[in-house]
């Protein structure tokens, strides 16, 4: 449904908070609307920022509602400005753009321009592991989120964008406990379990009179349209793909909390286990807690049972499940972060970026969720456990693409569901887990049409 003209705004905005200047070549690329230009990508990401608070997880819905929206980068003598046409009025107050929206819009421009001019220009060898890690580091440094001389205090929170109210309130309660302990928050920047911890932490930080708080949101172009950045994010970073997004989470964080979610959350869990199960990372402290309210106990029992069946009972040594106890989660995470601090000091590793963690290339190279690639995944136990976790991560990544990413949705519409093959008992367990996600409405935001699976598990 097209937005009425009364809800649209035209505006010319200037950057707030130290936006770098752009070269003429960068401006030209950002204005180029051809298939080889960056304008369409910038437009899609900017529209997601302007629609903060959207309750739709269909990436095509915003474009259909605002088909006449446009954004242009203007090069001026004293820097750049952004020209917005037919922008959502919700991003403005009394004719002026909301400051947080302004900052996030210029973060979009900054990251898209930098990735194109510096990362994808051949400066880094993106075919090998160290080159990919270096690229992740440079994107984060360019975004000015890597701060030296600051003790470890960054906690990443993962979880679903489509969660019921009681789970959302629980994420706020955990965030509050983290804020009281002086811990900053990093999430995927969207709604649900990505917003709740930040919202709770703001109160904890305020009670402690803490003023330099960081609420980092890390996203990527394929997901931002389905998960618009929430308004609490004060450092928005757009990584070029999901794999670099996941590596950015793990490299800058000092501990991870997982709340209930769907296939995207399962992908994140398996990504992290694919790292922690690697022999070269043995002995590296990495606090990893899964938590939710008492009503979600069965959810974590399902996740735990699936992981133990596929990867063995010893996999549980890498995580702790805490049900209905936000204070305990905060205390466990604070204690774990202190262990990370001691370890980094002993290893002479940076606090702000975990260089020492080994991440296999299978977790770093972008996975294209085509029907052929999904069908050829090797989900069998005749390989190292970290490699099997990596293969399962790709399976869940493909389902995420089929659910909420434009290219994945188009592939499903044209060729039908993805097929996933593997060992019989693993496939049966996977089918049960995915069916539970569907029954619990964890695949899509509630209120829409009944979920149509974009996958078929071949048992």
pLDDT band at residue 56 using 50, 70 and 90 as cut-offs: low
pLDDT at 19: 65
CATH 3.20.20.210 fits 139-347, yes or no: no
pLDDT tens string 199-212: 999 999 999 999 89
- The pLDDT, as a whole number, for residue 438 is 86
- Reported as a single tens digit per residue, the pLDDT across 231-279 is 999 999 999 999 999 999 999 999 999 999 999 999 999 999 999 999 9
pLDDT for 453 equals 87
Residues 392-419: pLDDT tens digits? 999 999 998 888 888 888 999 999 999 9
Structure tokens at 71: 């954004």
DSSP 119: I
Q: What percent of the chain has pLDDT over 70?
A: 95
Residue 311 CB-density burial (10 A; 0-12 exposed, 13-18 middle, 19+ buried) = buried
Q: What are the sequence ranges of the domains in the chain?
A: 5-123, 139-347, 363-457
Q: What would you report as the CA-atom Rg of the chain, rounded to the nearest whole angstrom?
A: 21
Q: Is pLDDT above 80 for 342?
A: yes
Instruction: Give the pLDDT confidence score for residue 3 in this predicted structure.
Output: 76
| Reported confidence tier of residue 446, pLDDT bands at 50, 70, 90 | very low
Predicted local distance difference test score (pLDDT) of residue 407? 86
Beta strands across the sheet bearing 8-13: 8-13, 79-88, 70-76
Torsion angles phi and psi, residue 36, rounded to 5? -95, 0
Name the residue among 263, 272, 364 with its Cα closest to residue 318.
272
Q: What is the pLDDT of residue 219?
A: 96
Predicted TM-score (pTM) of the model is 0.93
Mean pLDDT, the chain, whole residue set: 92
Asked whether the CA dihedral 55, 60, 63, 65 is positive or negative, the reply is negative
The answer, yes or no, to whether residue 6 has pLDDT greater than 70, is no
Question: pLDDT tens for residues 112-170?
Answer: 999 998 888 888 899 999 999 999 999 999 999 999 989 999 999 999 988 999 999 99
309 neighbors 292 (Cβ within 8 angstroms): no
Q: Which CATH architecture has domain 5-123?
A: 2-Layer Sandwich (3.30)
Comparing CA positions, the residue from 62, 64, 85 lying closest to residue 74 is 85
Whole-Å CA distances, 439 to 129, 307, 444: 39, 20, 11
Q: Mind listing the pLDDT tens digit for each residue in 8-42? A: 999 999 998 656 688 888 999 999 988 888 999 99
**pLDDT at residue 54, rounded to an integer:** 62
pLDDT grade, residue 75 (50/70/90)? Answer: confident
Band of pLDDT at residue 59, cut at 50, 70 and 90:
low
pLDDT of residue 388 exceeding 90, the answer is yes
Per-residue model confidence (pLDDT) at position 431: 92
Per DSSP, helices labelled H in 54-195 are 61-65, 99-114, 129-142, 165-180
Report the alpha-carbon distance of residue 285 to residue 110 in Å, rounded: 34
Strands 8-13 and 79-88: antiparallel
What pLDDT was estimated at residue 415? 93
pLDDT in tens, 318-327: 999 999 999 9
Give the other-Cβ count within 10 Å of 130's Cβ.
Answer: 12
């Amino acid at each position: 449904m097209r937005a009425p003209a009364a809800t649209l705004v035209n505006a010319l905005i200037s950057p707030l908070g130290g936006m770098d200047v752009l070269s003429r070549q960068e401006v030209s690329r950002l204005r180029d609307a051809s298939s080889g230009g960056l304008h369409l990508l910038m437009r899609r990401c900017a529209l997601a920022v302007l629609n903060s608070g959207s309750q739709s997880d269909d990436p095509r819905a915003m474009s259909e509602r605002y088909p006449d929206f446009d954004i242009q980068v203007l090069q001026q003598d004293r820097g750049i400005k952004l020209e917005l046409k037919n922008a959502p009025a919700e991003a403005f107050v009394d004719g002026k753009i909301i400051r947080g929206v302004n900052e996030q819009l210029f973060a979009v421009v900054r990251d898209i321009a930098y990735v194109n001019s510096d990362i994808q220009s051949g400066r880094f060898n993106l075919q090998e592991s160290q080159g990919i890690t270096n690229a992740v580091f440079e994107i984060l440094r360019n975004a000015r989120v890597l701060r030296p001389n600051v003790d470890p205090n960054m906690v990443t929170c993962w979880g679903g964008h489509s969660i019921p109210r009681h789970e959302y309130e629980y994420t706020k309660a955990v965030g509050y406990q983290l804020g009281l302990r002086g811990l900053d928050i990093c999430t995927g920047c969207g709604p649900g379990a990505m917003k709740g911890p930040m919202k709770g932490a703001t109160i904890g930080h305020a009670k402690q009179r803490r003023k330099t708080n960081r609420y980092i949101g890390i996203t990527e172009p394929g997901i931002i349209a389905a998960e618009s950045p929430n308004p609490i994010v004060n450092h928005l970073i757009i990584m070029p793909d999901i794999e670099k997004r996941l590596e950015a989470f793990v490299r800058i964080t000092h501990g991870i909390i997982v709340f209930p979610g769907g296939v995207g959350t399962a992908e994140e869990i398996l990504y992290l286990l694919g790292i922690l199960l690697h022999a070269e990372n043995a002995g590296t402290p990495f606090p990893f807690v899964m938590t939710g309210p008492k009503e979600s106990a069965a959810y974590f029992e399902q996740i735990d049972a699936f992981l133990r069946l596929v990867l063995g009972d010893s996999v549980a040594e890498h995580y702790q499940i805490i049900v209905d106890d936000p204070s305990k989660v905060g205390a466990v995470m604070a204690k774990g972060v202190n262990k990370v601090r001691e370890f980094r000091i002993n290893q002479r590793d940076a606090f702000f970026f975990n260089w020492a963690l080994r991440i296999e290339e299978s977790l770093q190279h972008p996975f294209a969720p085509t029907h052929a690639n999904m069908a050829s995944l090797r989900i069998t136990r005749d390989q190292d456990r970290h490699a099997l976790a990596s293969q399962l991560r790709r399976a869940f990544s493909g389902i995420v693409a089929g659910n909420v990413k434009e290219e994945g949705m188009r592939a499903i519409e044209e060729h039908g569901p993805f097929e996933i093959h593997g060992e019989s008992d693993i496939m049966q367990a996977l089918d049960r887990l995915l069916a539970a996600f569907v029954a619990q409405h964890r695949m899509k935001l509630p209120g829409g049409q009944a979920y149509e699976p974009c996958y078929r598990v071949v048992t």
